Amino acid sequence: MSTTTTTVRPRRPLPPLMALTDAAAERLRSLYSAGQEGMLLRISVNTKGCSGLAYDMSWTDAPGPGDESVADKGVTVLVDRKASLFLIGTIMDYEVKDLSSGFTFVNPNEKGRCGCGESFHV
């Protein structure tokens, strides 16, 4: 008679859905306290562009049933649940350049981007 024992390996914790840099958190605080007071930023991923997917940001007054709430550095953003798998581990930043400024995403799931930088694929 033989006995087999199985050991259960501990599960590795998943990385956070999203994180914000200090610059992104500060910019969101500024937007939330000014013209977008009482609103929340929702981040989603839509099909568009030459590479297939693009980040989409919109304002909403309340979380929807398909929203994941991400709180980081004292700021809350919403992530569309359909975009969660595309965004796990993403860092949202805010960059100011000579001729432009805006939110950027450092996404470890991206396998490539189109030449103009507007869309990506996983």
Q: How far is CA 14 from the centre of its chain?
A: 15
In the chain, count H helices and then E strands: 2, 9
Q: Residue 26: what pLDDT? A: 95
β-bridge partners, 44: 56
Residue 41 counted as domain residue: yes
What digits encode the pLDDT tens for the residues 33-55?
Answer: 887 778 899 999 888 766 678 88
Give dist(CA 44, CA 57) in Å, integer: 6
Q: What total number of domains does the chain contain? A: 1
Q: Residue 108: what pLDDT? A: 85
More confident residue, 110 or 96: 96
**Span 10-19, average pLDDT:** 76
Q: Does the pTM exceed 0.85?
A: no
Residue 32's CATH number: 2.60.300.12
Residue 37 counted as domain residue: yes
Residue 12 has pLDDT above 70, yes or no: no
What digits encode the pLDDT tens for the residues 58-89?
Answer: 999 899 998 999 999 999 999 999 888 888 89
Residue 10 counted as domain residue: no
Cβ contact 45:53 at 8 Å? yes
Cβ contact 78:70 at 8 Å? yes
Residue 8 counted as domain residue: no
Structural domain boundaries enclosing 88: 22-114
Cβ contact 43:91 at 8 Å? no
Report the share of the chain in percent with pLDDT over 90: 33
Residue 81 counted as domain residue: yes
The single-letter DSSP state of residue 30 is H
Q: Residue 21: what pLDDT? A: 96
More confident residue, 111 or 70: 70
